Amino acid sequence: MNKLIIISVLFLALLGGCNKKENQEQQKQKGYETDFGIFFEGYSGAFVLYDVNNRYYIRHNEEQCNKRLSPCSTFKIPNSLIALETGVATDENFLLKWDSIKQPIDSWNRDHTLKTAIANSVVWYYRELARRIGNDKMNDYIQKMNYGNMDISGGVDKFWLMNSLTISANEQAEFLIKLLMNKLPFSERTINIVKDIMTLEKTDSYVLMGKTGSGEKKDEKYSQGWFVGFITHNNNAFVFATNIIAPEKANGPKAKEITYNILKSLKIM
């Protein structure tokens, strides 16, 4: 009996080794055998990519892929979904008037629609949407989406801004897979509007949709950046989530730049 157990264990170990070797070969064939670390020089970074047709994940820095961070402005994606579904925002042209209080970024100092607010990452616009949605409805949808740690205790108009709500790169990818496949608790109309306002680039070979996010904790002396979204390419789609952490100068634009470089190295862009 003991010999049989030993033989079985050895067989399973051998099979596991074969599967690992097979997965490595598949990764190599898909062009995924890349040292992603070279793209994150100067940052602690995480990268998740999901190949929809082949149901295949690749990750850089698996430990950080599981680390929850504030979503910052990437939360504008679910915030837009909830605002549209609840009727707080009518469509992509829903206008909010600027209150004339000077903002830190010049492009924020004017009236905005849902479409221009996400494109310019206008914080005041989305804080006002959240206030109009209200704590109860916001919490209800956050729970239905199973979004990160689902904690909005930091305040209905700021919980996503380096506050109580946190989410990992892996969880961002799972959320975006559901968005891409229309498997979130929202109407098809709502999802289509949000996909449209997320669109950053359209070319003959690909369509890229995404959102950046930036934040810093001055007392803890670190900054962070996000770029999340999906790209359609050659009748396939790829979902991605990138985050970076550094003592300073980690932000959304840098995370976006790193993501672009990775996607180009994989010949997806």
Express each pLDDT in 97-115 by its tens digit. 999 999 999 999 999 999 9
Residue 8 within any structural domain of the chain: no
Residue 14 within any structural domain of the chain: no
pLDDT in tens, 234-255: 999 999 999 999 999 999 999 9
How far is it, in rounded angstroms, from Cα 39 to Cα 35? 8
Query: How far is it between the farthest Cα atoms of the chain?
Result: 81
How far is it, in rounded angstroms, from Cα 259 to Cα 252? 10
Residue 119 within any structural domain of the chain: yes
Its sign, for the CA torsion 133, 155, 252, 206, is negative
Instruction: For residue 128, give its domain range.
Output: 34-265
Domain of residue 161, CATH code: 3.40.710.10
3-state SS assignment for residue 129: helix
Residue 2 within any structural domain of the chain: no
pTM across the whole model: 0.88
Residue 91 within any structural domain of the chain: yes
Between the CA of residue 28 and those of 22, 35, 218, 231, 251, what are the distances in Å? 10, 12, 41, 21, 31
Annotated active-site residue in 8, 44, 70, 73: 73
Q: Using N-to-C axis directions, what is the helix angle for 188-198 and 169-180, rounded to 10°?
A: 120
Residue with tokens 């064939």: 29
| pLDDT the model gives residue 35 | 79
Number of domains in the chain: 1
Low-confidence ranges of the chain (pLDDT < 50): 1-29, 31, 33
Residue 98 within any structural domain of the chain: yes
Question: Is 73 an active-site residue?
Answer: yes
How far is it, in rounded angstroms, from Cα 89 to Cα 156? 17
**Strand pairing partners for 44?**
245
| pLDDT the model gives residue 34 | 60
Residue 1 within any structural domain of the chain: no
Residue 217 within any structural domain of the chain: yes
Burial string for 159-193 (b: 16+ CB within 10 Å, else e) reads: bbbbbbbbbbbbbbbbbbbbbbeeebebeeebbeb
